Amino acid sequence: MKPSLSPGAFAFASIKPAQTIDPTIIVASIRETEGLSVVVTEEDAIKNNLEILFLCAWITLNVNSDLHAVGLTAAFSAALGQSGISCNVVAGAYHDHIFVPIKLAGQAMDVLYQLQACSNSSL
């Protein structure tokens, strides 16, 4: 899985229909009926007067993931859940990205390293 922790803090927020922000600051997004849900840096959320709905750390799994693959998301989300760590997952075209509570980032990395070690030893 090769998890890596991005530096800094990130924020989930919602952009209301009448509100605009520079699209280049958006890390991830999805359109919902309530507005555009975005992930941006904490700094950009504050600069743009966005309500921070979830302050998080961003972990990237640096293994090329297949968008049709079965099981990877279930494995890491179950391992994190068993450790009491919530996660929000965004699948990119090449990698999975996991957003976890900022205060639990180190613990989440430990869980992912343990999961990686277990899957390597079972090969």
pLDDT in tens, 13-38: 999 888 899 999 999 999 999 889 99
- CA atoms of 37 and 50, how far apart (whole Å): 11
Residue 58: CATH number of its domain: 3.30.2130.10
Residue-number span of the structural domain to which 30 is assigned: 3-121
- CA atoms of 29 and 38, how far apart (whole Å): 4
pTM comes to 0.89
Task: Write the Ramachandran bin of 49: left for phi over 0, alpha for psi from -120 to 50, otherwise beta.
Answer: left
How many distinct structural domains can be found in the chain? 1
pLDDT tens for 35-80 read 899 999 999 999 999 999 999 999 999 876 666 566 778 889 999 9
Instruction: Please give the structure tokens belonging to residue 104.
Output: 């639990």
- Could you tell me what percentage of the chain is helix, strand and coil, using 3-state DSSP and rounding each to the nearest 5? 35, 30, 35
